[in-house]
Structure 1
Amino acid sequence: MRRSFAALLRGPLGFQGAPRNRKSPERPANYGLKEGGDLRLTNWMQALLMLVCWPKPSDLGYLLEDVDKKMIKKWDPPINILHAPTERKVLKGARAVMAKGARTWISENIA
Structure 2
Amino acid sequence: MGAPKCGTTSLATWLAEHPNIYMSPWKEPRYFDWDLKARARITPEAYRALFADAGPQHKAVGEATVWYLYSREAVPAIERELPGSKYIVMVRNPADMAYSLHEQLTLNKVEHIKKF
Normalized against structure 1, the TM-score is what? 0.25
- Larger Cα Rg: Structure 1 or Structure 2? 1
Q: Specify which structure has the higher proportion of helix.
A: 1
Normalized against structure 2, the TM-score is what? 0.24
Larger RCO: Structure 1 or Structure 2 (Cα < 8 Å, ≥ 6 residues apart)? 1
